[in-house]
A and B are shown apart, each in its own frame.
Chain A
Amino acid sequence: MSRLRGHVSVSTASAFGLCAVLFLIATIHSSGFASGGNVRQLLVFSAFIGFAALGQTVVVLSGGLDLSVPWLMAFGGIQLSHWAGDGMPGGVAIALVVLAGAAIGLVNGVGVAWLRLPPIIMTLAMGGLVQAYLLSLGVLNTGGSGVPHAAEAAASDRIGPIPVVALVWLVVAIGIGIVLARSAAGRRVYAVGANDEVARLSGIDVGRVRLAAYALSGASAAFAGVILAGYVGSTYLDIGAPYLFASIAAVIVGGASIMGGRGTYWGTVAGALTLTVLSAMLPLFHLSDAGLKVVYGVVILAGVWLSQSGGALVARLRQRSSSPTPASPEVKSVEP
């Protein structure tokens, strides 16, 4: 399928390249960075962003944006603790929370697809409603037990040296990657994002695509909240706050267009890894908080620019080597 969307795979590859370069720099600076323990940490933290940005990727591809992600993450953790505190088995509670997240996302979809509300406003308001609901629960009413064991296990267990979360993430990424690149559903998502009117006239049920995208985003954000809560061992209202921009930035750093229609989930994976590596490596350089921020911003810009122009260069070279002959006409030409 890289044949079908060559330009995207170039940008995905360059995002991975960016991540690798950063990792290399950090490792050269302090060798502990490449230790098994650190890599494992990086994978786990990336997975949180990766899950938070999973539905976000699809939403962005379809031409939308989901600002309710952080609140759905808080919902994931708090609702889980709440239900588990009421005695629900952990696994069941996790499944129900993810379903409930999907349902909330679906409401976002209804607002965007049917009422035609601007996605930013719809999802922002939905975030407010979720927040209100969580406040009404009594934010802290997590009972003595806090986060159920199932969530902690999901977040912290390992298979051999590899964290379970990272494995799950890999499997999900492969799945989503296939769906986006090779299924009719994926093609419809890209079509809606590229131009919804053309998509509609091409017989695509634009509303349904949007509903599904937002529902997926709700579910994945809730799941991200569950594993984050499991990992941290507690939940609180603002637990998802850092993931608002991170979830979008991962998508964009991964090469997607914020206007929709262009990008891949593998790009997002690369974006999540890049953001995590970057914020993990900068403290090594002993900067003040202020300096850290400046450097973080500049490195993001420089990195994205380098990977972009690197990607463009690769694309150009590839094009040059593949078709050296000029003027391939568009039309069949028949000799007289």
Chain B
Amino acid sequence: MSEALEITGLRKSYGPVEVLRGVDLHARAGEIHALLGENGAGKSTLIKVLSGVTGAGAGTVTLGGRRLTLGRPTASTAAGVRTVFQELSTIPQLTVAENLLYGAEPLTPWGLVSGRRLRAQARELLARYGLARIDVTRPLGELALGDRQLLEVVKALREQPKVLVLDEATSALSSEDSAWVLEQGRRAADNGAVVLLITHRLAEMRAHAERLTVLRGGESVLSGATADFTDDELIVGMLGRRLEVLYPQRSGAPGDALLEASGLAVGDRIGPLDLTVRRGEVLGIGGLQGQGQRELLMALGGACGSRGSVRLSGSPYAASSPKAALAAGVALVPEDRQREGLFLQQQVRDNITIASLRALTRPGGLLDAGKAEAAAREQAVQVGVATDRLGTVVSALSGGNQQKVVLGKALLARPSVLLLHDCTRGVDVGTKADIFALIAELADRGVAVVFYSSDLSELVHVCDRVAVMAEGRIVGEVAADALTEQAILRLAVGVTPTRTEVAA
């Protein structure tokens, strides 16, 4: 059987930096082909070339034997390439229906978009994928991030794609939604499409991809059937080194209570809820998506108004603003790195230091440039951003590395409470391991960490204890000794808590 997608010798430079250095990739129709690699390896760039949004310096792409004209989105679209991009590409101001059928709107005889048929088709499309619960007339921006990601997938599937690219389409999703996305991928493959799956979750990849290609530094270093490689081999392929452990061993026991919230409520849908985090403890926040986890973290970080009382080291803590929170030693890594975390057009060093300016200022009010540089450098090393990229504009970093910059910014503020909202989203295994090690180290130094992740296994392995939320309330806790994915899920979906726990 001839290979449906053949990429040979693909090269691509951004200015002087060569990002793809001769990538080869061969994928068959009907298979899910995983594309692996550490952050910045060039996966997304490869995808952008494939989908025509950027051109390439050299190399060819053939699809079903036909050579693809590079650098023209229309050409790729016509050839049947559909991409779910790593950074969301749906348009918040347009409605769900308008987004789903963007570029293929049903027209009336007058050449206008027929609103009625547009909505009907959108509903039909959603119904086909079991998402009829989503109201097609809502502006997309009002939906939760997860739903938006799902719609992104639906949109890509709109017209039977020949190549479906899922660029970290699952990284922001709960396991349930991830499963849904991957199932759609499988269906597309069964219909004869090539599905390119980019993910940093090896288990996910193993469960779904038949074959894989590993990129490192813009070159393809491994390719073949998934079953032929062990995880270790893949990791060495990706990172160029062994990974001793992914989840670190925790040593110290949690200390006394550091952050205590009681009757905390946000708006009229979230709370009231009580929560205690101890020094040196990693408290996980679990639950299905959109159950108020975001609001909880935002409220604790001073980023949105809340009621109720919070105490920090025993004294009252008014999280009236992120500034107040940071001053009190509470730092937040927000959910949406592009909209909440980063100044995309500023340099890495400026992004890292922005939340800690006070500490970097000389008495006269001027910044201590040397100190700032050193701090940024130290932080970059700690989170794993190459120090020679300190002068790079953040938008030119790969998604995972952008995430590390946000983390670096929060850590430089030297928090005693660290609120992490999905901080490993889109981060490669190597760096993930580093981040987990970092969390463990911080906790061992007495920092209280509140950790929310859409990845259940991370919750299980990283946290000392997980509080599970549903409908804006904390519905139960899973203690360290009973911490399993099932335990969290059961609470999340409302199966009676404690007894089941004990039985398990």
Contacts and interface: CB of A to CB of B under 8 A. Distances in A.
Chains A and B touch each other in the complex, with CB atoms below 8 Å apart: yes
Interface of A: 1, 3-4, 6, 178-179, 182-185, 187-188, 190-191, 194-195, 197-205, 261-262, 316, 319-320, 323-336
A198 B341 contact: yes
Interface string B322-347: 11011100001010000111111111
B241 A178 contact: no
Contacts of B341: 198, 201
Nearest to A178: B366
Given A183-B366, A326-B16, A336-B242, A331 B354 contact: no
A15 to B, nearest CB: 19
Contact of B16 (A183, A185, A319): A319
- Main SS of chain A's interface residues? loop
Contact of B40 (A191, A319, A329): A329
A330 B385 contact: yes
A262 B345 CA distance: 9
Given A324-B16, A329-B40, A201 B340 contact: yes
Contact of A194 (B236, B346, B358, B369): B346
A178 B367 CA distance: 10
Given A188-B357, A200-B322, A203-B413, A330 B386 contact: yes
Q: Which 8 A-B pairs have CB atoms at the shortest separation, nearest pair first?
A: A326-B18, A203-B326, A330-B40, A184-B357, A336-B241, A202-B355, A194-B343, A203-B323
Contacts of A4: 347, 349-350, 369, 391
A264 to B, nearest CB: 14
Given A182-B369, A262-B345, A327-B17, A201 B303 contact: yes
A183 B344 CA distance: 21
A331 B241 contact: no
B424 interface: no
- Which of B327, B346, B365: most chain A Cβ within 10 A? B346
21 contacts: A4-B350, A6-B391, A179-B365, A182-B369, A191-B354, A194-B346, A195-B343, A198-B340, A198-B342, A198-B343, A199-B343, A203-B323, A262-B345, A319-B16, A320-B16, A327-B218, A329-B40, A331-B38, A331-B430, A334-B241, A336-B236
Contact of B409 (A202, A261, A325, A328): A202
B40 A331 contact: yes
A261 B345 contact: yes
B357 A327 contact: no
- Which of A179, A191, A324: most chain B Cβ within 10 A? A191
Interface of B: 13, 15-19, 21, 38-40, 217-218, 236, 239-242, 301, 303, 321-323, 325-327, 332, 334, 339-347, 349-350, 353-355, 357-358, 360-361, 365-367, 369, 381, 384-389, 391-392, 397-398, 401, 409, 413, 430-431
Nearest to B401: A330
Contacts of B339: 195, 197-198
A331 B384 contact: yes
Contact of A329 (B301, B326, B344, B386): B386
B39 A330 contact: yes
Contacts of B350: 4, 187, 190
A199 B398 CA distance: 22
Given A190-B346, A200-B321, A319-B16, 15 more contacts: A4-B350, A184-B357, A184-B358, A184-B367, A187-B354, A187-B367, A204-B323, A204-B354, A327-B17, A330-B385, A331-B38, A333-B217, A334-B240, A335-B241, A336-B241
A333 B430 CA distance: 10
A169 B230 CA distance: 69
Contacts of B344: 194-195
A320 B14 CA distance: 11
A222 to B, nearest CB: 24
Given A184-B367, A205-B321, A336-B241, A330 B398 contact: yes
A334 B40 CA distance: 15
Contacts of A324: 16
A316 B15 CA distance: 8
Nearest to B18: A326
A85 B391 CA distance: 56
Contacts of A194: 343-346
Contacts of B332: 201
Contact of B15 (A3, A319, A333): A319
A275 to B, nearest CB: 26
A285 B15 CA distance: 43
Contact of A197 (B340, B358, B398, B430): B340
Contacts of A319: 15-16
A323 B16 contact: yes
Given A326-B18, A329-B40, A331-B401, A185 B365 contact: yes
B367 A183 contact: yes
Contacts of A329: 40, 217, 386
Contacts of A333: 217, 239-241
Contacts of A195: 339, 342-344
Nearest to A257: B345
Nearest to B385: A330
A263 to B, nearest CB: 12
A311 B44 CA distance: 30
Contact of A331 (B39, B218, B326, B413): B39
Nearest to A323: B16
Contacts of A330: 39-40, 385-386, 389, 392, 397-398, 401
Nearest to A190: B346
A183 B363 CA distance: 11
B246 to A, nearest CB: 16
A200 B303 contact: yes
Contacts of B38: 331
Contacts of A327: 17-19, 21, 217-218
A324 B389 CA distance: 15
A205 B361 CA distance: 16
A179 B18 CA distance: 37
A325 B342 CA distance: 28
Contacts of A262: 345
Nearest to A202: B355
Contacts of A325: 16
A200 B241 CA distance: 39
Nearest to A324: B16
Contacts of A187: 350, 353-354, 357, 367
Contacts of B326: 203
- Which of B16, B18, B387: most chain A Cβ within 10 A? B16
A136 B40 CA distance: 65
A201 B330 CA distance: 12
Contacts of B387: 332
A1 B340 contact: no
A179 B361 CA distance: 12
A123 B365 CA distance: 29
Contacts of A190: 346, 350
Contacts of A334: 239-241
- Which of B21, B341, B343, B384: most chain A Cβ within 10 A? B343
A182 B381 contact: no
Contacts of B386: 328-332
A183 B367 CA distance: 5
Contacts of A1: 369
A323 B18 CA distance: 11
B21 A326 contact: yes
A332 B384 contact: yes
B342 A3 contact: no
A102 B304 CA distance: 31
A204 B327 CA distance: 11
